[in-house]
Amino acid sequence: MVLVMNLKKILLVLFTMVLIFAALTHATSESIPANIWEFTTDYYDVIGEPGLSASLVGDNEYDAGDSATLFIQLMNDGLVFGFKTEKTPSNADEAIDAQTELDKEYDVTTALNIRGTLENDNDAPIKILSGVQQGGSLREGEVSAPMEFDIEIFDNAPSGTYEFTLNLTYQYQYDVKVDGYPDQEYDYWYITKNQTLPVTIIVKPKASFEVEDVIANTKPGDQTVLYITYKNVGDETAEDVVGRISVVDPFSTTDDQAYIGTLAPGDSYQAKYRIKVDANALPKTYGINTEVKFRDERGDIQISDVMKAPVKVYEDIPFSEKVGNSAYMLVVLVIAGALGLYYYKRRGRT
């Protein structure tokens, strides 16, 4: 019984696969008929081919670190280059076949089954996430629905213009023959064409910051000044720059912002913050979060990535140890001085 049920399942799966294969084959045969070249009669040759161009839909400017979708639209600028008569019809039926063939010959400019891939041939600091995209079929003068390609721009991508390569593959009708009016039959000949097109995007300039230096003399229980030097390592001038710190235990502050002003690319500025160190702070290096708020050249408010300012808390030496060490050094100095005076007087007597 189990064997019979398993056999039925297998047959059902096989039958389903056959139906799917037949449907796919039928769809393909409707979009691009198989190449058949049986007739000897050819009345006309129309010489031409499709010609695709590509353009980005929407803005092509992005910031470093952006994730985006490129919408690339295709247009078919196909052209007919020439026309040639191969045979003159000899009767009315052939005249009808010849006219039908001529009408179909002008499909030479139609691009069929367009497929495209976007390639980063120039090693741009950008990752292309999408694979092959379908562009459908385009008659001469038609515009496609946009092909969509997802990209990621590296966080450290320099500003500038970057060019991708759009690799397109499609088929078009190279020739056609018609015969047998009133029961006409058709011979088609399709060839594959590859086409590469440039697609350009712009990574906008921007200011970018790093912590260049940190100075702080901190011990448990101290109130001190924290100096942080910021540097604009980007390629755009930043206006109205304000540095900010965010502290957690063992630090506290009521002075967490410092006005910096204007920083051109390559400029540095040392900002000052007053901080307090908890009396029970462990002696070690801590990281204080800091960021920069600024206005870019377009007037938009931007906030930098969070940076770390390393601050070392030194061990606090107890007062008794300080006094003890000082007394010990004083005794050593007194003894050394006494010995020096003794030898000096002794030499004087001799």
Mean pLDDT of the chain: 85
pTM over 0.85: no
Is 10 a residue whose pLDDT tops 60?
no
Is 111 a residue whose pLDDT tops 70?
yes
**Three-state secondary structure of 121-177:** CCCCCEEECCCCEEEEEECCCCECCCEEEEEEECCCCCCEEEEEEEEEEEEEEEEEE
Of 112-116, 244-248, 301-305, 317-321, the least confident? 317-321
Of 37-41, 87-91, 252-256, the least confident? 37-41
pLDDT tens digits along 216-234: 989 999 999 999 999 999 9
Reported confidence tier of residue 23, pLDDT bands at 50, 70, 90? very low
pLDDT tens digits along 259-289: 999 999 999 999 999 999 999 999 999 999 9
> What is the rounded distance in angstroms from the CA atom of residue 64 to the CA atom of residue 302?
13
pLDDT tens digits along 322-350: 555 555 666 667 676 666 666 666 665 55
Equal CATH topology for 27-203 and 209-312 = yes
Q: What CATH number should be reported for the domain whose range is 209-312?
A: 2.60.40.10
Q: What percent of the chain has pLDDT over 90?
A: 62
Q: Domain 27-203: which topology? A: Immunoglobulin-like (2.60.40)
Q: What would the mean pLDDT of 90-102 be, rounded to a whole number?
A: 88
pLDDT at position 41 = 77
Phi, psi at 298, each rounded to 5°: -95, 0
pLDDT tens digits along 60-83: 999 999 999 999 999 999 999 888
Domain boundaries, the chain: 27-203, 209-312
Reported confidence tier of residue 156, pLDDT bands at 50, 70, 90? confident
Q: How far is CA 47 from CA 31, 85, 108, 179, 328, in A?
A: 22, 11, 7, 20, 106
Alpha-helical runs (H) found in 290-318: none
Q: Which has more pLDDT, 327 or 121? A: 121
pLDDT at position 27 = 37
